[in-house]
Amino acid sequence: MPDFSPSSSRPPQVGRRTLLGAAAAATAAPVVLGSASRAAAAPAPRKKPRALPGGGDLGPNVLVFDPSTPGIQARLDEVFRQQESAQFGTGRYALLFKPGTYSGLNAQLGFYTSIAGLGLSPDDTTINGDVTVDAGWFNGNATQNFWRSAENLALVPANGTNRWAVAQAAPFRRMHVRGGLNLAPSGYGWASGGYIADSRIDGQIGPYSQQQWYTRDSAIGSWLNGVWNMVFSGVEGAPAQSFPNPPYTTLATTPISREKPFLYLQGSEYRVFLPEKRTNARGVTWGNGTPRGTSLPLTQFYVARPGVSAATLNQALEQGLHLLLTPGIYHLSEPLRINRANTVVLGLGYATLIPDGGVTAVKVADVDGVRLAAFLVDAGPVNSPTLLEIGPRGASRDHSANPTTVQDVFIRIGGAGPGKATTSMVVNSRHTIIDHTWVWRADHGDGVGWETNRADYGVVVNGDDVLATGLFVEHFNKYDVQWFGQRGRTIFFQNEKAYDAPNQAAIQNGSTKGYAAYRVGDAVTSHEGWGLGSYCYYNVDPTIVQHHGFAAPVRPDVRFHNLLVVSLGGQGQYECVINDTGSPTSGTSTVPSTVVSYP
């Protein structure tokens, strides 16, 4: 791995994001045939499947603690030992803490591990101690600290500052840190995250070596520094707009937001809280009495266990139940079909859906208010045309009053084994909110290669009025993002072009050198983006030239603010930032080329 860090004699200034290569039991009820008479050989009509129950036990990989539980630290350590370096393993865990006060804990989080409080407010569940992510397993490099999360807790860090050194797909939501937050690993090695929402950090947030970060609808004491791309929307205490030096993009409010659903306890009853939509949001949703929204009892959810069939999950949906996916891996022989307005599909502990035989994992109808949250879709070895579809082709209904939200839904092609998908996520429904996603064609792990985990397109947006807050899309063979809908908006975009392009011809796009990371369609007349970055690291053929990171029609209402492209150590180069505008990246220097405003 080439070293793009400054001399060790100086404090870290430029971190860099490099990833190295190397590194179905329950089914629907059977058909029951009536007895046939001698005169009539035809079978009797099928009986309806027995109704599925709602509610139930959360399963063995959901560990629930209360302040009187003995041996909490030992159990946390046991899970961490198993998950610390299991980047492509099969273990999945949710660590849930009932309201109360816990002392002397350090919950270290490894892969596919979520920690959360079970109160209605973060302050209902206080840990006098830490929730820690560090990078000792990877020699102090935090760029692969993926797939873990913290939610709905108050922390009083043991030394005054909690360490949360993460990369992609590691949300920090609805947290109250009564102290500071350090986003870098011990030793200030490379780091490449990250996302904070609906959180209050009383002290200073120190990103140190973090290359990029997005913070939304939160309150912070102060912010220390920036490397390439630090974006804030609706954050009390955020630094002032100053891109590119320091590289802060600051919006006073978030135009539309609706926080992620979460599990909580009301007495001894589990419920799922559904926060309400906010417009021009700023600051946290909690802290002044009961948060605004509605809740559902767990009895209205089908509590799914790994091994359940897609047919059973669809039966539950047709029956009118929501889905709670407990931790584990679910193989799908058919798509999950979400046809009912206001349906909730909520995962715990990085529940993972794998479509078999080239099917699409999830298809959502053109209905109001669907909430998809906190699960991973892992492409199967047979190519899927799509993995996640929000609305059918041609969807046109107005969902402005009650949009569909896609939150902490992550997509992976390859890495855990061979996987293929032509397009990962397609958004056809109007007014959809994509709030934090990482859509990743793997560049390391198993089943990785230019054709082995072929995936041409990451996210395609056809619907009008779609908003993305925290869009991470990386390494696709062609376009990472294509946006064809009108009036689309993106706040924060992070991208790397595919490392493994074999040569210039492999990425040639007609007469254009390479496919843009983020393309706005030629027919679009209104679009806006803030704080967007694309990086190249063509390590197979460092002579590859990428014409630009961003492509868009030149129209007054297609506008971009604070764009950058970076060539990592000179492994490939950009000629421009957007269209034909912006300086080329400069040789082997890992320094961004920026455009503050376009057109």
The residues annotated as belonging to the active site are 496
Contact 101, 126 (CB under 8 A): yes
At 314 the three-state DSSP class reads: helix
For 374, counting Cβ atoms within 10 Å of its Cβ (0-12 exposed, 13-18 middle, 19+ buried), the class is buried
* Kind of pairing between the strands at 371-378 and 344-347: parallel
Write the CA distances from 458 to 6, 158, 519, 594, integer angstroms: 33, 41, 11, 24
DSSP 8-class letter at 401: T
Listed in order, strand segments (DSSP E) in 28-72 are: 62-65
**Peptide bond connecting 599 to the previous residue in cis, omega within 30 degrees of 0:** yes
Structure tokens at 545: 């030239």
Separation of alpha carbons 584 and 370, rounded Å: 43
Q: How far is CA 71 from CA 46, 74, 76, 157, in A?
A: 52, 5, 9, 20
What CA–CA distance (Å, rounded) separates 570 from 200? 39
Distance between start and end Cα atoms, the chain: 37
Segments of 152-297 assigned E as strands? 154-155, 161-163, 172-173, 176-177, 180-182, 195-197, 200-206, 212-223, 229-236, 248-251, 254-258, 262-266, 269-275, 277-281, 293-297
3-state secondary structure 179-219: CEEECCCCCCCCECCCEEECCEEEEEEECCCECEEEEEEEE
Q: 314: closest CA among 254, 364, 240? A: 364
Longest dimension (CA), the chain: 94
Two structure tokens written together for 22: 């190397």
Count of other CB atoms within 10 angstroms of residue 357: 12
C-alpha 562/C-alpha 531 separation (Å) is 5
Q: CA-CA distance, 593 to 105, in Å (whole number)?
A: 44
**Are 375 and 169 contacting, i.e. CB atoms less than 8 angstroms apart?**
no
